[in-house]
Amino acid sequence: MKTILTVKSAPGGHWVGDGFPVRSLFSYQGDTAAVSPFLLFDFAGPHDFAPAAAPRGVGAHPHKGFETVSIILEGEVTHGDSTGNGGTIGPGDVQWMTAGNGIVHQEFHSEAFTRRGGRFHMAQLWVNLKASDKAAPPAYQSLLARDIPVVTLPDGAGTVRLIAGDLGAVKGAAKTFTPMMVWDVTLAPGGTASLATPAAYNTLLVPMAGEATVNGADTLRQADLAIFNHDGDDFTVTSVAGARLLLLAGEPIAEPVVGYGPFVMNTQAEIRQAITDYNAGRFGVIAD
Ligand code: MN
């Protein structure tokens, strides 16, 4: 059985731009080996926004050396980037952006959500790339809710949306550089599910909503972060009142992690080069 190593409560929050009230459940400034290949988990909201005229969010900024994964539960986000990609995603949709060799993008609430206001709730993950993949061309996978396979769990326990990683014969939606699972698990009230991730993977579990108990022992509340041991594959999750959980698991990337703001590389020299390249305009610009 896979057991829990530690459960951490969410820290205090901060704002990313004026659109994203986040709590960083972990970041590359912590114990990166324990969470690799994941680098960061920003738990945004839930937060109620009043109707407004101008979209809130964060304007043009760079990324290099990793991927950002935005998972929307409530609200809408409109993205545009220096490769010309862009679009609006809403509840159930996921944007998987490869910053790779360098990208500039902006992230705002959609025009429609801004005008009507309402509850905003999402997660943004940063996923590391191996040194050999950090020079990959920037790319963008728009994974709409209808494109994400849903697997029904036995005994009416709930469902799993396979954002990345397979479950049985069902393939996850995202193309990833290294093996990983990003599962959006909904537990029905009273539901108990047996889930499994390879023992060699790092495995993390975060309730986005509701509470769930792992192996009948550890109860996780909203925005808690559970980090598992590497002592087995299977574990159980139970929820009395129902819950929505993000299960993250992946093969660790055993390389140095050197991060500075929106850049995550392997060495300080590569960070200095990234800053130089960005300041020289080599990451491109967002077209109007
Ligand atoms: Mn960004």
Distance 118 CA to ligand 1 centre (A): 22
The 3-state secondary structure of the chain, one letter per residue: CCCEEEEECCCCCEEECCCEEEEEEECCCCCHHHHCCEEEEEEEEEEEECCCCCCCEEEEEEEECEEEEEEEEECCEEEEECCCCEEEECCCCEEEEECCCCEEEEEEECHHHHHHCEEEEEEEEEEECCHHHCCCCCEEEEECHHHCCEEECHHHCEEEEEEECCECCECCCCCCCCCEEEEEEEECCCEEEEEECCCCCEEEEEEEEECEEECCCEEECCCCEEEECCCCCEEEEEECCCEEEEEEEECCCCCCCEEECCEEECCHHHHHHHHHHHHCCCCCCCCC
Distance 41 CA to ligand 1 centre (A): 13
Distance 48 CA to ligand 1 centre (A): 22
**pTM value surpassing 0.75:** yes
pLDDT in tens, the chain (288 residues): 999 999 999 999 999 999 999 999 999 999 999 999 999 999 999 999 999 999 999 999 999 999 999 999 999 999 999 999 999 999 999 999 999 999 999 999 999 999 999 999 999 999 999 999 999 999 999 999 999 999 999 999 999 999 999 999 999 999 999 999 999 999 999 999 999 999 999 999 999 999 999 999 999 999 999 999 999 999 999 999 999 999 999 999 999 999 999 999 999 999 999 999 999 999 999 987
Distance 71 CA to ligand 1 centre (A): 13
Distance 106 CA to ligand 1 centre (A): 7
Distance 107 CA to ligand 1 centre (A): 7
Distance 213 CA to ligand 1 centre (A): 33
Distance 79 CA to ligand 1 centre (A): 9
